Chains A and B, each alone.
Chain A
Amino acid sequence: MGETFLLILLLIDATVRVATPLLLAAFAGMVAERSGVVDIGLEGKMLAGAFAAAAVAAVANSAWLGLGAAIVVSMSFALLHAYACVTHNGNQVVSGMAINILVAGLGPTLAVAWFGLNGITPALEGAGRFIGLNLPMSEWLAPIPLIGPVYAEVVSGHNILVYLTIAILPLVALLIYRTRFGLRLRAVGENPHAVDTAGISVAALRYRAMLLCGFLCGIAGAYLSTAHAAGFVRDMTAGKGYLALAAMIFGKWKPVPTVAACLLFAFADALQIRLQGVVLPGIGEIPVQVIQALPYALTVILLAGFVGRAVAPKASGIPYVKDK
């Protein structure tokens, strides 16, 4: 019992670590799409954030400055996307893809130019990284069965960005559903004409949504390069931006189901890592290939069987052009 219980706790612990960037990116995508802007460039913004965070943290030896730089850079790319798609009514998928491709090449190129390393930034140490925090009371709680280990393994020991994410996500959800800005944001994604008729600027709302989107992607990027890993590596987002988009669609553009979808993806990934080479009672050792296909198989099964129809915000992906 004891060991299995600990294994489950460690599995949940890993799920939280893997889910953090997914959650941030999925919420970023949600904010953008609820305002009517499809943002396929989550991947690129995250990668740009990861590079900026790692580069600044390496030079300034401060993870916080790195985080700031990541947010600024990611928001700049979000503004670029908004400028192309909102101001000039450009195709949103093309613009997003362009950002992804641009960043994929730009990061490694700048790394070569600035650090003389090919596609990577120097390994971060000490103050250049967000390291795990041991929350107070974990030793005091340790002897208590159930609560002690849960507190020590799952709740405590993460880096500050994980806790920050847990704090930010409900705020974003509240912003979308419980504020005047949120009401307008949702309206502009469903029926921009009505919003415009009410005398509210569609463009300004979408710009603000994109800024928020960039902000969240920046944190996700900084998490990847300065908290989860210790430096930027070429293509280190490894498709997490697209996975986040899938999680958002999976979650029907709503906060709580989106969180559930992200946690599910992260859990499948963590499980996949831990099941390799483990002998299951009664079954024996499962072939690695089967285990590595697990997250994908799980996604297909759930998408096909359990999710049902996912309806996007009506105006999502359509540039708003005023009737003449």
Chain B
Amino acid sequence: MRKLFAGLVVVAWAAATPATAADVVPGLLFDMGGKFDKSFNEAAYQGAEAFKKKTGIEYLEFEPTNEAQREQALRRMARRGANIIVGVGFSQTSAIETVAKEYPDVKFTLIDGVTEAPNVQSVVFKEHEGSFLVGMLAAMASKTGKVGFVGGMDIPLIRKFACGYEQGAKHAKDGTEVLVNMTGNTPSAWNDPTKGGELARSQFDRGADVVFAAAGATGVGVYQAAKDGGKLAIGVDSNQNHLHPGTMLSSMVKRVDVAIEEAFTDAMNGEWKSGLKVLGLAEDGVGWALDDNNRALVSAEMESALGAARKAIVAGDIEVADYSAGNSCDY
């Protein structure tokens, strides 16, 4: 009996720990808002799924429902043998900072936040560059000369979207008015579609006819309001054009999926590096989505204007102000 038990333990141990150093056990910690928010977290999920499909390697995952679970979840993954853990969202910053110290042999990748530690890779995006392009698109599609922005939680990251968007709108058409609303000051602002809908409606009432939402699942309400009111909406993070074909003008895509797939793949191949990684238009880390669902809404003129602007930004001829650099929107 004892022998059998010992045998079982060996089998369990063999299954739980990597046989060779090259074996990678990835872990993914989502942000609040949930895996299927059709936006930011869903992009992360798709990245991890793509990795799983290519390599056949399963990953550990966790969706926190309150702040206290973040650190617990990271520790539990590390204890269960994960050697590359990706935390999605700026709110994971302090949790990763703490847990990375406790597990110096585990690699951590933090998306959307920056922290310095020898075993942490921080991936940030130049959201302002992508937002600039969709801002141009919004201004060119608007008939009233007024465009709206609905943010989720009021944090510098979301202000960064708003700032780039405003600049892009004014770049395309001087004098375009940009209405900016934030949903709230707490993480629940990512999950309040009725409030998002009301915010969008208030902007339509004030004359806006295109609205860009950077608000997680709250955005679902914004896009619905645009559809109900016969206005145009712009999605964020994932390509959301398919949600309401005909009223989704485009989506500002942020390739969180690529970043996560890369982190896992690099860790597997031993190419993973700690430090800061910034993905912008030049790296195709951000961009705007054009597919069958919004083809009819985007004219050739818009497309070429955006293409030219993209080139100019990459070349440095257009400088898009980064709100997070000085916590102000000066351009």
Interface residues of A (CB under 8 A from B): 7, 10, 14, 17-18, 117-120, 123, 131-132, 224, 228-231, 233-236, 238, 270, 273-274, 276-277, 288-289, 292
Q: Tell whether, in the assembled complex, residue A274 and residue B202 are in contact, meaning their CB atoms are under 8 Å apart.
A: yes
Question: Is the beta-carbon distance between A118 and B191 smaller than 8 angstroms?
Answer: no
Contact of A234 with B181 at beta-carbon distance under 8 Å, contacts A18-B198, A119-B36, A274-B202 already known: no
Instruction: Across the interface, name the chain A residue whose C-beta is closest to B217.
Output: A233
Select from chain A the residue with minimum beta-carbon distance to B186.
A292
- Complex CA gap A10/B205 in Å reads 7
* Residues in B whose Cβ lies below 8 Å from that of A292: 182, 184-185
CB distance from A115 to the nearest CB of B (A): 10
Chain B residues with CB below 8 A from A274, complex form: 202
Which A residues touch B243, using CB under 8 A? 123
Interface size class on chain B is 20 to 34
Query: In the complex, how many angstroms separate the beta carbon of A277 from the nearest chain B beta carbon?
Result: 5
Chain A residues within 8 Å of B34, by CB: 118-120, 234
CB distance from A94 to the nearest CB of B (A): 21
9 A-B residue pairings within 8 Å (CB atoms): A119-B34, A120-B34, A120-B217, A123-B220, A230-B224, A236-B193, A236-B194, A238-B194, A276-B180
16 further A-B contacts with Cβ under 8 Å, apart from A123-B220, A235-B191, A273-B199, are: A7-B205, A17-B198, A118-B36, A120-B217, A123-B243, A229-B194, A233-B193, A233-B220, A238-B194, A270-B198, A273-B195, A273-B202, A274-B202, A277-B179, A277-B180, A292-B184
Nearest CB in chain A: distance from B148 CB, A:
10
Give the CA-CA distance A167 to B188 in the complex, in Å: 33
Confirm or deny: B283 has a beta carbon within 8 angstroms of a beta carbon on chain A. no
Nearest A residue (CB) for B204:
A10
Provide the B43-71 mask, 1 if CB < 8 A to any CB of A, else 0: 00000000000000000000100000000
**Within residues 23 to 38 of chain B, which ones have a CB less than 8 A from any CB in chain A?**
34-36
**Which residues of B sit under 8 angstroms from A228, Cβ to Cβ?**
194, 197
Residues on the A chain within 8 Å of B202, using CB: 10, 14, 273-274
Asked if B154 is an interface residue, CB under 8 A from chain A, the answer is yes
Q: Indicate if B201 sits at the interface (CB-CB under 8 A).
A: yes
Contact check, A238 vs B228: say whether CB atoms are below 8 A apart: no
The residues of A that contact B228 with a CB separation of less than 8 Å are: 131-132
A-B CB proximity, top 5 nearest: A118-B36, A10-B205, A230-B224, A276-B181, A118-B35
Of chain A, the residue at the smallest CB distance from B179 is A277
How distant is B61 from chain A, measured CB to nearest CB, in Å? 11
When distances are taken between beta carbons in the complex, the residues of chain A under 8 Å from B224 are 123, 229-230
- Contact string against A for B residues 217-260, beta-carbon threshold 8 Å, 1 for contact and 0 otherwise: 10011001000100000000000000100000000000000000
| A243 to B199 Cα, complex, angstroms | 20
Task: Report the minimal beta-carbon distance from A159 to chain B, rounded to whole angstroms.
Answer: 10
Please state if A289 and B185 are interface contacts (CB–CB under 8 Å): yes
Q: CB-nearest residue of chain A relative to B201?
A: A14
Q: Give every chain A residue within 8 A of B217 (Cβ-Cβ).
A: 120, 233
* Cα separation A223 to B104 with both chains bound (whole Å): 51
Indicate if the CB atoms of A14 and B198 lie closer than 8 Å.
yes
Which of chain B's residues 148-206 have a Cβ closer than 8 Å to chain A? 154, 179-182, 184-185, 188, 191-195, 197-199, 201-202, 205-206
Which residue of B is nearest A120, CB measured?
Answer: B36
**In contact, A288 and B198 (Cβ under 8 angstroms):** no
Interface 1/0s, chain B 121-152, versus A by CB < 8 A?
00000000000000000000000000000000
Q: How long is the Cα–Cα vector from A14 to B34 in the complex, in angstroms? A: 29
Looking at the assembled complex, report how far the CB atom of B29 sits from the nearest CB atom of chain A, in whole angstroms: 15
Contact B193 A229 (CB under 8 A): yes
A49 → B minimal CB distance (Å): 14
Residue of B nearest to A116 (CB): B36
Q: Inside 8 A of B180's CB, which chain A residues have their CB?
A: 276-277
A17–B198 alpha-carbon span in the complex (Å): 9
Whole-angstrom distance from the CB of A244 to the nearest CB of chain B? Answer: 15
Provide the bound-state CA to CA distance between A184 and B154, in Å: 51
Residues of A within 8 A of B179 (CB): 277
Report the Cα distance A230→B36, complex, angstroms. 16
Chain B, range 290-316, C-beta contacts under 8 Å to A = none
Chain A CB within 10 A, most for which of B184, B193, B195:
B193
Residues of A contacting B195 in the complex (Cβ-Cβ under 8 angstroms): 238, 273
Q: Closest B residue to A18 by CB, please name it.
A: B198
Q: Which residues of A contact B192 (CB under 8 A)?
A: 236, 238
| Closest beta carbon of chain B to A321's beta carbon, Å | 39
- For the complex, what is the distance from the CA of A132 to the CA of B227, rounded to whole Å? 13
> Which residues of B have CB within 8 Å of A270?
198
Select which of B188, B198, B220, B221 is within 8 A of A235 by beta carbon.
Answer: B188
The smallest beta-carbon distance between B226 and chain A, in angstroms, is: 12
Tell which of B181, B191, B197, B198 touches A277, judged by Cβ atoms closer than 8 Å.
B181
Q: How far is B205's CA from A235's CA once the two chains are assembled, in angstroms?
A: 28
* Contacts A120-B36, A229-B224 given; does A224 touch B194 at CB 8 Å: yes
Docked Cα-Cα span, A150 to B205, in Å, equals 15
Q: Looking at the assembled complex, report how far the CB atom of A58 sits from the nearest CB atom of chain B, in whole angstroms.
A: 14
Rounded to whole angstroms, the CA-CA distance of A276 and B193 in the bound complex is 18
Closest partner residue, chain A, to B149 (CB atom): A277
